[in-house]
Chain A
Amino acid sequence: MDNKLKLVLILLSVFLVAFGARFFKIASYPVSLTMDEVSIGWNAYSILKTGKDEHNERLPLAFKSVGDYKPPVNIYLTVPSMALLGKTEVAVRLPTVLMGSLAAVFMVLLLMELNLSWIASVFGGVWVGLSPWHIHFSRSGFEAITALSFLLLGVWQFLVWIRKRNKTSVLVSITALSLSVWAYHAERVFVPLLVVYLLLSNKDKILKILKKQRKILLWSLLVLAIFAIPFLKLAIFTPAIKERALSTSILRETSLTQNLHFGEYASLGELVFNNDKYLVFRHWAGKYLNYFDLNFWFWRGMEFTNPGYLDLGLMYLVDLPIFFSGVYFLIKSKNRKYKTIKGLALAWFFLGPLPASMTMNEQHPLRALTWLPFFGLVVAFGVEFLMSIKNKWVKFGLGVGYIFALSLNFLYFTDIYLNQGPRFKSEYGQYGYKQIAEYTCAHRDDYDQFVISETFGSYGPLSTGIPYLYSLFYCDYDPGNFQESRKIPQLSFRRPQWKHDKNMENTLLIGSPWDFLDIDEIPEKQIVKRLKFLNGRESFILVETGRK
């Protein structure tokens, strides 16, 4: 068989494995569109119908949404999906499913470019394809997946350019890396640093290329300028970049800010030994070091279940010996053909968790997704090492053993992800708002008004949602009307209070049990419906006031 055809078939197989894991029951799992997904969906629909976002901005480069200034790439990728499939969960999730599946393909190509054997490269691609870390976020419409795919494409094409010295590769690389920066916040920190590493580690080769092909530099700068200038304009002249960075920065974390002095020190001792610079540095160091935790990597990083329960790590437990084999082989190998992968793995190892360490939250697997390729490189290298074992029976035994153990791990993952996770975590995906939106749509003629609470939670009013976006997404509201008025007819969004609201006529109050602590005073016949989270606890109560 022709080598190119063989490669295409291999890549297609890897893609299909990854796609299968991501597309299976995509409309049902996760059990609800998250806030981010419904915002992406509604804004994509709004762009499709009117060319403007929900805030009436024509083709924006940053979507203000609920003040979090979403990156534009995923939203624009969702527009054609929405045109084809309508306003559905599948339409919202499909672009990320596809991008996530492509990440597995790009991983194979990257590993091949790094001189790994085709077996190890394919393993690396399949590893990404079946990674619980990657699957979960690929199924949930997260921009980080799109950004990661572009990142892998960009790094691969950069290495191809270094080898082949062709113009196309460097331009594709710059485009892909730029799109990666445009696609998600973490890449805004990670990509420039990785690019600095790539340029420095290949500076001799790059200078040689540029000496012979000066035009490449001009073309590269031109393409870079197309992406960088608008980005810099957004960063400097609008709150789009700063706002998001500030809203998630560790500098806003109470556990840090309550100890800071903001320039006002009570004594010289405090100024020297308790100064804000050291406190911030120490706080950040804790966040950064928190990511170097084997438990987080292999046993409980994904937080699909409750604290203390069995859970799942970023990687399967069966990957642990392969990972450490990869580390060992990377350190021991003196083969010059692995020089690039060694350097890249080391750089990625230190840089990977950096963006996540600058944000609030401990051990955030989504924000640390830039780190995933490092683990992919190492496990693929581990396979490369194991393939070099001369005894074919040992190799065979290890292979069979791994496949068996992986099957068990994967089955366990499916149980945790499909059965356990929804039960424990449905409320964190805003479960219930879809049912509320559909109910209000279906009963528009029965009530004059609907009051919908924005707070909910199993154990207290601890979570805040954006029910207005669910109402817009699941009902047939016109985006143009909403852009003008920012109001949805008949709907208002606040916490209902039975004491005052009971006097409203013909109104349906929709709140969490925490909004109806006086439920005993509400006549039973006025409680229209009770909704539950998947853990069996009450989520929302629908109460009607007196009718005309």
Chain B
Amino acid sequence: MLKLLKKNWFYVGLVLMTPWFWWMVFHAGAVAKEFLKIPTYTSQRVSGVYTESNLKFVEDLRWVNLHVYQQPFRARFFYNKLTVMVNELLKVMDYISPRLYFQSGDGSNLSPPGVEPIPVIFFPFWLIGIFTLVKKKTFKPLLLSLLFAFIAFVIGRRTLSFLLPNLFLYVYIAGSGMKAVISKKKMKIWLSLFLIYSLYLLGRIIWIIN
């Protein structure tokens, strides 16, 4: 394990710069409790697809075609249980939204307060990292981040605790982007800047808590 960490010191260092990591460490107990609730959350999620409110909007959208334009086929073709399912499935895209990771957090007590979970200055490098990994045909980190987002979606909780694997993946992707555009010579300077900003964020969390 130590060897692995030493080999990947760069990425480990970046993870240590994220408020998200430290927040999870200091709230490990609460995170573990959340994980124990996965079965409950998941069954609520699955049974929540065809709720009254979801089916109500289908009726509401059918209303015009049925009662005003007398187009029952069109009403039923576009607005039915399948479209409710598609509408629900597409909510998975909310779980990979960059804003969640690089600015807002999830708003819960398991999200670092008042700061971004991953420093927002990592965002452009994260994008460049995606391009870099695609260019190198290294799709695993990207596919894994989608997979973990999907798992959190199935659990039905858009929280950083269930998206925790994506902390490491997103930082890895950002790190790949940094390595692609920052030369070895200038890397130390950039890392110092990232560190200063990260320390500022950590200081801000401490100030907010106190």
A residues sitting closer than 8 Å to B (CB atoms) are 269-270, 272-274, 278, 282, 285-286, 289-290, 292-295, 298-299, 305-306, 308-310, 327-328, 331-332, 350, 411-412, 415, 419-420, 423
Contact = CB atoms under 8 A, between A and B. Distances in A.
User: For the side of the interface on B, what is the size category?
Assistant: 35 or more
The 9 A-B pairs at the shortest CB distance, nearest first, are namely A294-B93, A289-B99, A273-B207, A273-B204, A295-B93, A286-B103, A419-B64, A309-B57, A331-B134
B37 interface: no
Contact of B91 (A295, A305, A309, A328): A295
Given A286-B103, A293-B97, A274 B134 contact: no
Given A308-B57, A419-B64, A285 B94 contact: no
Given A285-B120, A286-B104, A308-B57, A294 B96 contact: yes
Contact of A274 (B93, B116, B207): B207
A428 B74 CA distance: 26
Contact of A332 (B91, B98, B115, B134): B134
A292 B99 contact: yes
Nearest to B64: A419
Contacts of A423: 64
B97 A328 contact: no
A270 to B, nearest CB: 8
Contacts of B74: 411, 415
Contacts of A328: 134
B60 interface: yes
B93 A309 contact: no
A305 B87 CA distance: 14
Contacts of B134: 327-328, 331-332
B135 to A, nearest CB: 5
Given A272-B203, A310-B57, A331 B135 contact: yes
A305 B58 CA distance: 12
Contact of A292 (B68, B98, B116): B98
B57 A293 contact: no
Contacts of B207: 269-270, 272-274
A273 B116 contact: no
Contacts of B83: 310
B-side binding surface: helix, strand, loop or mixed? Answer: helix
Contact of A289 (B57, B65, B98, B208): B98
Interface string B157-199: 0000000000000000000000000000000000000000000
16 contacts: A269-B207, A270-B207, A274-B204, A278-B204, A289-B97, A292-B99, A293-B93, A295-B94, A295-B97, A298-B93, A310-B78, A310-B83, A327-B134, A328-B134, A415-B74, A419-B68
B103 A289 contact: yes
B61 interface: yes
Contacts of A274: 204, 207-208
Interface string B96-129: 1111001110000000000110001001100000
B131 interface: yes
Interface in B25-84: 53, 57, 60-61, 64-65, 68-69, 74, 78-79, 83
Contacts of A331: 131, 134-135
B49 to A, nearest CB: 13
Contacts of A310: 57, 61, 78-79, 83, 87
Contacts of B68: 419
A293 B101 CA distance: 12
B61 A309 contact: yes
A272 B201 CA distance: 11
A278 B172 CA distance: 26
Contacts of A270: 207
A290 B64 contact: no
Contacts of B123: 289
A289 to B, nearest CB: 4
A248 B138 CA distance: 43
